[in-house]
Each structure stands twice: as structure tokens, then as C-alpha cells.
Amino acid sequence: MELLHLWISRYARQKFPSCPEPPHVVRQSRCSMKFDAIDQALLRELQNDARQTNRELAAKTGVSPSTSLERVRLLRQSGVITGYHAAVDLDAVGRPVQALISVRIRPPARPVIEGFREWAARLPEVIGLFVTSGAHDFLLHIAVPDVNGVYAFVIDRLTERREVADVQTTMAYEHVRAGRIDPVADERPVRSRHER
């Protein structure tokens, strides 16, 4: 058992070289993780189907089930995998109309920004929220039953807030989701054993 723990500790130090803390206490995006071909394959397969069993995942990525389980555990602990979600068809749940709404907040103080963010994130119409730079402070992605729902959201919810200084609405004709998100490749050259 001690040998397994030692191997896991060494593996974690290799995967998380810039982390001062062990991976189980690392917060998301606090350290850079080195992704190898196995990690990339696991992430790709999980994004294609997160409901598959560990045995199926291992078979598809060409590793043993124990390796698959440990790698996925490390990806979760490091904050790379943040959760598993069901993709919902907005038309099927009665929310076929989508809009992107830019919101400018005044005064642009941290407590005001944080308060608005927390409030907006809880609204049932909001399916995405971005804190942005530039002319506006927020970009809200909403989904509602019809165009009247967009109007009601802007007039009855947003403009009723004292901190909202400006709102611009853009109707979305179509929303295409990316199939998957691949990690950025490590651009550093790999030295051969002879160069070391």
C-alpha cells in the first residue's frame, strides 16, 4: 500500500509541477497541469459520454481500469473536471427563444458587481453569465418561451435594479455548442534521453 501511495505522490508532482500544495487542495486554475495523451483521451471520451463506466472508458482509451480511475480522480481533484451534466434541449423544455443581454452597472464597485452577479445567476431565465470588460460589465445568456419573455426579463427584472445603467439585447437565431474542449498542447520541446 505504501508503494501505491508513493507512486501516486510522484505522479501527482509530475502532473502538477507548479502547485505548492497537494492536488486534493488545489483550487481550479491555481496551477498548470501537464496533459499527456492519456489525459487528453480520457477528457475527450468523458466529454463525448460522461455516463460510460470506468471499464468502458479504460477500454476506449487503451489503459487499465485502475489507471483510468486514478487519472480521472486526479483530473477532478485538480479542478480540470468540474462536474458531469445532462445536455438539455431548450425547445423540449419550453424555452426556445434565446438572447444575449449586455448590462452596464453603476457604480462599477466590487460589491455592486458581486451583488448583481449573485442575483443574476439565480434567475431561472439565465443559462449563462459572463463578467466582461469594455463598455458593459455583464453578458447574460437567457432562454425563455417567447419574445415577450425577453421583453419581460429586460423590463421587469433588469431595469428595475438601481445599479443597472444600460442594457443592450441581441436575439440569438441559433446556438451551436462546441462538441468538446481539448486542453492546450504543451508547446515546450521535449528533450530526448540523450540530451538530458
- Give the domain-ending residue among 77, 110, 129: 77
User: H or E stretch including 66?
Assistant: helix 65-77
Q: What is the pLDDT of residues 57-70, one digit of tens each?
A: 999 999 999 999 99
What burial letters (b/e) apply to 8-22, b meaning 16+ CB within 10 Å? Answer: eeeebeebbeebeee
| Averages of pLDDT over each 10 residues, the chain, 196 residues | 44 51 40 82 94 97 97 95 91 97 96 97 98 97 98 97 98 87 64 46
For the chain, list the strands marked E by DSSP: 97-105, 126-131, 138-144, 164-172
Same domain for 167 and 114, yes or no, is yes
Same domain for 128 and 72, yes or no, is no
The CATH number linked to 106 is: 3.30.70.920
- Residue 88: inside a domain, yes or no? no
**In contact, 104 and 136? CB cutoff 8 Å:** yes
- Give the domain-ending residue among 48, 77, 106: 77
Same domain for 71 and 6, yes or no, is yes
Supply the pLDDT for residue 179: 73
- Residue 20: inside a domain, yes or no? yes
Supply the pLDDT for residue 186: 61
Please give the C-alpha separations between residue 13 and each of 8, 23, 137, in angstroms, as whole numbers: 9, 9, 38
- Residue 29: inside a domain, yes or no? yes
Same domain for 105 and 160, yes or no, is yes
Q: What is the pLDDT of residues 2-24, one digit of tens each?
A: 443 444 445 555 555 555 444 43
Supply the pLDDT for residue 31: 55
Same domain for 164 and 125, yes or no, is yes
The contacts found for 59-65 with CB under 8 angstroms, 24 or more apart, are 63/38
- Give the domain-ending residue among 49, 77, 105: 77
| Tally of CB atoms within 10 A around 87 | 6
The CATH number linked to 55 is: 1.10.10.10
Supply the pLDDT for residue 181: 82
Which DSSP state fits 26?
P
Domain that holds residue 109: 97-172
pTM of the model: 0.71
Number of structural domains (the chain) is: 2
- Residue 112: inside a domain, yes or no? yes
